Structure 1
Amino acid sequence: MEEESWQSITVMEDKNGEPHVLQQKVKVYTSGVSEESPGYTKPLMKHRIVPVKDIVNL
């Protein structure tokens, strides 16, 4: 079973000093037995920069 998700890589600041998170899309592979079963991720070549305030509730 496979799904796609975003993995946070690092936090950086934009020109105004506001914190943003660099994220990379990953493909998540699971065994399908249960949600707690070990699996692995494969990084994809898609990235995005997201403001920290959009990820966490401050």
Structure 2
Amino acid sequence: MEAEAWRSVDIIRDTDGVPHVLQQKVQVFTSGVSEESAGYTKPAMEHRLVPLQDLTTFGRS
């Protein structure tokens, strides 16, 4: 069984000082027996920057 996910790699500040999370796409491979079975991930070459505020709810009212 195969799926895709994003793994957070680092936190980077843009030119305005706003923190963004650098994420790398990974392919997730499982044994197929159950969702909790041991598996492995394989990194892909695709990356993205996501504003930290979009990933957290800390400080929001």
The question of a shared fold, defined as TM-score above 0.5 by the shorter chain, is answered with yes
Greater Rg, structure 1 or structure 2? 2
TM-fit CA distance, 1:32: 1.1
Q: Is 2:14 aligned against 1:9?
A: no
What are the residue-to-residue correspondences of 1:12-23 with 2, within 5 Å?
A: 12-23=12-23
Q: Is 2:34 aligned against 1:34?
A: yes
Q: How far apart, CA to CA, are the structure 2 residues paired with 1:35 and 1:56?
A: 26
Would you say how many aligned residue pairs link Structure 1 and Structure 2?
Answer: 58
SS in structure 1 of the partner of residue 22 of structure 2: strand
Structure 1 alignment gaps of length 5 or more: none
What are the residue-to-residue correspondences of 1:37-56 with 2, within 5 Å?
A: 37-56=37-56
TM-score under structure 2 length normalisation: 0.90
TM-score under structure 1 length normalisation: 0.94
Q: Which residue identity does 2:5 align to in structure 1?
A: S
Runs of at least 4 residues off by over 6 Å: none
Write out per-residue CA displacement over residues 6-35 of structure 1, whole angstroms, 9 at most, x where no aligned residue. 010001111111110000000000011111
When the two chains are superposed, the root-mean-square deviation of aligned CA atoms in Å is: 0.7
Q: Is 2:57 aligned against 1:57?
A: yes
Q: Which residue identity does 2:55 align to in structure 1?
A: I
